[in-house]
């Protein structure tokens, strides 16, 4: 074989080795070169047909189902007043009566509890809106007492129907902020009761769906979770501390009286108030009256009762909520209920409780009437910072007797009072019970 043939064979072997070891690089290089000389090809993506069922999350599907099942049971409530003054705190007002904050010393001290519904009536014609929902086939509608309190006329409207119907108040429970109203001449086919659930089994983290008419935007839906159970806040015309459901589902003025639903579409609460931070708008903290409270009262409400809770007939200062330095200066104990006024003819007067006679004003503006009895125990329970006096009496029935341990000067007395639904002749600026 001559030299030229051997050189030719070496070239072929070298080329073969190059292809074997660097074929990928060669192909890649070839592809790049082709891209420089060939016009780009635009690929048309394949867009799958939209499937709403698959695109929605399980939570979204559940919410839609809950709303569809319950929305026809929601009622839009409109009221008109000729200028009466509401005794219920309006949105943005502070809890309790007058300048004594029943939540002093707690995370809620000094914060405004808005009713989440219409503002308090002024001395001129006022229109307000709220919500409610059907609870039975007769057409009874459950709502908040503060929505219809003092109203001269009440009209209602149901979902997807523009007609309005005149309604009247059937039963009320002012201290629970609940009322039942009933519409006149409402067609039976428009009555869609919403099933009542069980509020005792609730846990933080469970779903909560609120229906109502926030800011007059009728038939609106918001969703959140149960933030806390058995939260205590002032409820009703007397601002009595009661357990409520806390939720972060947006509740705003106009939602009052609307239902709070669980993931099964059952009513677990009646939307009532917000902790607004002063803006009268939702700040992520809303409250609902547990539906089990309402269920115990519904037989009487639908029968036309005005449910009254017992009273002792006193105005008092909760010493546990006052400044400890001021109490020390005044030689007062750090807990107990200082009796500042005893209503004539009240159970307190009949039991022999004494009121104070010397009125002073503390540096923080709190007015006290000194010299009266100090209730230190009620039925063996110490009256401390958590306003046990009010809570214990609220939990009793008209006709029950309570036993009071009283400090009068240097003496300790034991008194008994038979509770009635006594109504004072005039409101006072201190806490009343």
Q: Three-state DSSP class for 209?
A: strand
Are 239 and 97 within one domain? yes
Are 346 and 253 within one domain? no
Are 394 and 425 within one domain? yes
CA distance 155 to 165: 5
**Residue where a domain stops, chosen among 302, 332, 352:** 302
Q: Is 46 exposed, middle or buried (0-12, 13-18, 19+ CB in 10 A)?
A: exposed
Are 290 and 335 within one domain? no
The half-sphere exposure of 238 on its side-chain side, counting CA atoms within 13 A, is 24
Are 273 and 145 within one domain? yes
Q: How many domains does the chain have?
A: 2
Are 405 and 282 within one domain? no
Q: pLDDT digit of tens for each residue in the chain (433 aa)? A: 554 444 444 444 444 433 333 333 333 333 344 444 455 666 666 666 666 666 688 999 999 999 999 999 999 999 998 754 443 433 322 233 333 444 444 444 444 445 544 333 334 456 789 999 999 999 999 999 999 999 999 999 999 999 999 999 999 999 999 999 999 999 999 999 999 999 998 999 999 999 999 888 888 999 999 999 988 889 999 888 899 999 999 888 889 999 999 999 999 999 999 876 655 555 668 999 999 999 999 999 999 999 989 999 999 998 988 888 999 999 999 999 999 999 999 999 999 999 999 999 988 888 899 999 999 999 999 998 766 788 889 888 899 999 999 999 999 999 999 999 877 665 444 556 6
**Residue where a domain stops, chosen among 273, 302, 331:** 302
Q: What is the CATH number of the domain that holds 363?
A: 2.30.42.10
pTM score of the predicted model: 0.73
264 lies in some domain? yes
Question: Is residue 141 a contact partner of residue 135, using CB atoms and an 8 Å limit?
Answer: yes
Which structural domain, as residue segments, surrounds residue 329? 314-432
Tokens 């947006």 belong to 250
Are 383 and 251 within one domain? no
Active-site residue numbers?
146, 177, 256
Are 295 and 361 within one domain? no
Query: Which of 118, 113, 74 is closest to 221 using CA atoms?
Result: 74
**Residue where a domain stops, chosen among 237, 268, 302:** 302
Q: What is the CATH number of the domain that holds 113?
A: 2.40.10.120
């Amino acid at each position: 074989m001559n030299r030229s043939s051997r050189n030719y064979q070496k070239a072929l072997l070298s080329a073969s080795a190059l292809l074997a070891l660097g074929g990928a690089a060669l192909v890649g290089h070839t592809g790049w070169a082709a891209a420089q000389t060939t016009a780009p090809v635009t690929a048309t993506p394949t867009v799958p047909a939209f499937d709403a069922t698959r695109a929605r999350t399980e939570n979204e599907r559940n919410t839609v189902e809950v709303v569809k099942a319950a929305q026809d049971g929601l009622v839009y409530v409109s009221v008109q007043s000729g200028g009466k003054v509401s005794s219920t705190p309006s949105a943005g007002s502070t809890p309790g009566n007058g300048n004594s904050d029943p939540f002093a010393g707690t995370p809620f001290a000094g914060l405004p509890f808005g009713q989440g519904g219409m503002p308090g009536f002024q001395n001129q014609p006022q229109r307000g809106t709220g919500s409610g929902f059907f609870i039975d086939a007769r057409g009874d509608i459950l709502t908040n007492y503060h929505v219809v309190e003092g109203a001269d006329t009440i009209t209602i409207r149901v979902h997807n129907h523009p007609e309005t119907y005149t309604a009247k108040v059937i039963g009320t429970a002012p201290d629970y902020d609940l009322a039942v109203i009933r519409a006149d001449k409402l067609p039976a086919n428009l009555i869609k009761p919403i099933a009542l659930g069980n509020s005792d089994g609730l846990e933080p983290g469970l779903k909560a769906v609120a229906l109502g008419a926030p800011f007059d935007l009728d038939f609106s839906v918001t969703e959140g979770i149960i933030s806390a159970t058995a939260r205590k806040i002032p409820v009703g015309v007397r601002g009595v501390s009661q357990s409520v459901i806390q939720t972060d589902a947006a509740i705003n003025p106009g939602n009052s009286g609307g239902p709070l639903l669980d993931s099964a579409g059952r009513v677990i609460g009646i939307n009532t108030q917000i902790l607004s931070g002063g803006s009268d708008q939702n700040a992520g903290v809303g409250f609902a009256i547990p539906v089990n409270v309402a269920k115990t009262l519904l037989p009487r409400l639908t029968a036309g009762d005005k449910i009254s809770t017992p009273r002792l007939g006193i105005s008092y200062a909760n010493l546990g909520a006052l400044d400890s330095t001021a109490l020390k200066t005044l030689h007062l104990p750090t807990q107990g209920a200082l009796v500042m006024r005893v209503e004539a003819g009240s159970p307190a007067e009949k039991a022999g409780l004494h009121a104070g006679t010397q009125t002073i004003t503390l540096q923080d503006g709190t007015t006290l009437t000194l010299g009266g009895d100090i209730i230190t125990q009620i039925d063996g329970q110490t009256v401390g910072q958590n306003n046990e006096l009010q809570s214990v009496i609220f939990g009793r029935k008209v006709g029950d007797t309570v036993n009071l341990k009283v400090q009068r000067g240097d003496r300790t007395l034991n008194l008994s009072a038979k509770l009635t639904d006594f109504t004072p002749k005039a409101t006072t600026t201190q806490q009343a019970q």
